[in-house]
Amino acid sequence: MKNDLNNLSNPKKYHKPVSIENQDSATLQQMLTSMLLIRKTEDQLAFGKKNSLIGGPVHLGVGQEAIAVGVSQNLKKTDRIFGGHRSHSHLLALNPNFYKLFAEVLGKETGFSKGMGGSMHLYDQPNGFYGSVPIVAGTVPLAVGAAMAAKLQKTDDIAVAYIGDGAVEEGVVHESFNLAKTQKAPMLFVVENNLFASHMHIATRQPSDMISRFAIANDIPHKLIDGNDVVAVTKASKELIDDIREGKGPALIELVTYRWYGHVDWRIDVDVGVERSLDDIKNWRARDPILRLSKSMIKEKILTLNQEINLNNKIDKEIQIAWDKAMNDPYPSLDATLKYVYSESKNEK
C-alpha cells in the first residue's frame, strides 16, 4: 500500500500542538465542552455495555470527537446531516442532549427515536440530524438527494454525509460522488479516516491510505486534515462549506484520526492481535484531540487547571443524573411499534 498520508497517520511523528492563535476564546471553550461531553457520554455507554445494561451493539468513536465538533461549528439547524453506525458524536455535536441518547440506546420511549432505533438508528431532524443507519454507506445517496432538494428549494442549506474509510469500499459512494458533482449538489462529504474498517487496517484493503484520491477522481475540491485538531477541522470545513453555500458544488474533507475502543462495544483489546497493537493505541491516545486543545488553552491562559477540573466534574455529574433518569424511564408500549415501525398493509382485506 502507498502511504500517501505520510506522517499524518503516524501518531509518533505527528504531535503538533493545536494552534489557537486568533481564535475566539468563547468558541474554544464551547468546543472543549462539546468534545468532553461527547467523550464522557460514550464512556458512560461503554460502562453500560460492560455491565450488560444495554441490549444492542454500540459503536464508540472515542478519540474522534474533534471531527463532528469542528465540522458542526459551520452548520445550521436547517442543514441536512446524515450518519452511519458510529454516529453518537455527529448527533451530539448538533444537539448535546445526552439524556435522549442514553434513553435511545437503552430502548426507552423518551429516546431520540422513541426507543425503537438504538445506537445505530438515530434521528433528530429539528436539529439537522436526518438519520443514521447501520448499513455502511446506506445514507450517502440519501444525503446527496437531500442536497439536491436543498438546491431545488433555493435555500443555501447543505447536506453532510459522514463516511468512514471502509465506507468508500461501497460502490454507491462513488455513484454519490459522481452524482453530487454532475448535479452541483450542495454537499459536504466528511471522511473520518480512522485507518480501520471493523478489524482490518486500510493497508490490507486499499492500494493507498488516502481517501481524498476519490475526490480528485471526481474533480471534487478537497482538503486533507489532521482529524484530532479541532481548530484545523473547523477552519478547513468552514472554507469548504462557505464555497458550497455559494453554489460551487460538492466538496470533500478527509480527517485522519483513530478510535480508541475496538470496532464495537467497550473493549479496547478486541482488535489487538488482529491488526491493532497496544503500542499504536498508546501513541494515538497521546494525540488526544481533547488534551491537545486544553493544553493549548492552558498555555495561552484561556483556561486554568482548576477550571478544567471543574468543567470535568460538572459534566460527570450531569451525565450521571441523565443516565439514572434514562435507566428509570419506561419502555415503549407494543402499540407504539404499530404507530412508528410497522403499518397495516393497505392491500389486506
Ligand X SMILES: Cc1ncc(C[n+]2csc(CCOP(=O)(O)OP(=O)(O)O)c2C)c(N)n1
Q: How many residues bind Mg ion (CB under 5 A)?
A: 6
Q: For residues 49 and 45, what is the distance between their CA atoms, to the nearest angstrom?
A: 6
- What residue 136 binds from Mg ion, ligand X, none (CB within 5 to 8 A, per partner kind)? ligand X
Q: For residues 259 and 262, what is the distance between their CA atoms, to the nearest angstrom?
A: 7
- Rounded to the nearest whole angstrom, what is the least distance from the CB of residue 119 to ligand X in the complex? 12
Q: How many helices (H) and strands (E) does the chain have?
A: 12, 8
Contacts of Mg ion in 145-164 (CB under 5 A):
164
- What residue 135 binds from ligand X, Mg ion, none (CB within 5 to 8 A, per partner kind)? ligand X
Sign of the Cα torsion 50, 52, 53, 57 reads: positive
- What residue 134 binds from Mg ion, ligand X, none (CB within 5 to 8 A, per partner kind)? ligand X
- Rounded to the nearest whole angstrom, what is the least distance from the CB of residue 202 to ligand X in the complex? 8
Nearest position to ligand X, beta carbon: 164
- What residue 38 binds from Mg ion, ligand X, none (CB within 5 to 8 A, per partner kind)? none
Phi and psi angles of residue 104, each rounded to the nearest 5 degrees, phi first: -65, -50
Q: Pick the closer one to ligand X by CB: 90 or 108.
A: 90
Task: Classify 94 as helix, strand or coil.
Answer: coil
- Could you identify the residue written with the cell 503516524? 10
Alpha carbons within 13 A on the beta-carbon side of 2? 6
- What residue 323 binds from ligand X, Mg ion, none (CB within 5 to 8 A, per partner kind)? none
Q: Which of 78, 80, 88, 21 is closest to 48 using CA atoms?
A: 88
- Rounded to the nearest whole angstrom, what is the least distance from the CB of residue 166 to Mg ion in the complex? 5
Distances (CA, A) of 202 to 24, 198, 254, 276: 37, 10, 14, 11
Q: Pick the closer one to ligand X by CB: 261 or 323.
A: 261
Q: Pick the closer one to ligand X by CB: 80 or 85.
A: 85
- What residue 85 binds from Mg ion, ligand X, none (CB within 5 to 8 A, per partner kind)? ligand X
Q: Which of 5, 87, 4, 32 is closest to 230 using CA atoms?
A: 32
Q: Which of 113, 54, 121 is closest to 84 using CA atoms?
A: 121
Q: Pick the closer one to ligand X by CB: 135 or 309.
A: 135
Beta carbons within 10 angstroms of residue 35's beta carbon = 26
- Rounded to the nearest whole angstrom, what is the least distance from the CB of residue 164 to ligand X in the complex? 2
Nearest position to Mg ion, beta carbon: 164
Q: For residues 5 and 209, what is the distance between their CA atoms, to the nearest angstrom?
A: 6
Cβ-based burial of 330 (10 A; exposed 0-12, middle 13-18, buried ≥19): exposed
- Rounded to the nearest whole angstrom, what is the least distance from the CB of residue 83 to ligand X in the complex? 10
Query: Residues interacting with ligand X, by CB under 6 A?
Result: 85-86, 134-136, 164-167, 194, 196-198
Contact (Cβ atoms closer than 8 angstroms) between residue 128 and residue 162: no
Q: Pick the closer one to ligand X by CB: 196 or 266.
A: 196
Q: Pick the closer one to ligand X by CB: 55 or 247.
A: 55
Q: Pick the closer one to ligand X by CB: 134 or 221.
A: 134
- What residue 198 binds from ligand X, Mg ion, none (CB within 5 to 8 A, per partner kind)? ligand X
- What residue 309 binds from Mg ion, ligand X, none (CB within 5 to 8 A, per partner kind)? none
Beta carbons within 10 angstroms of residue 174's beta carbon = 16
Q: Mask of contacts with Mg ion, 163-202, x by CB under 5 A?
A: -xxx---------------------------x-xx-----
Q: Pick the closer one to ligand X by CB: 85 or 151.
A: 85
- Rounded to the nearest whole angstrom, what is the least distance from the CB of residue 85 to ligand X in the complex? 5
Residues that bind Mg ion (CB under 5 A): 164-166, 194, 196-197
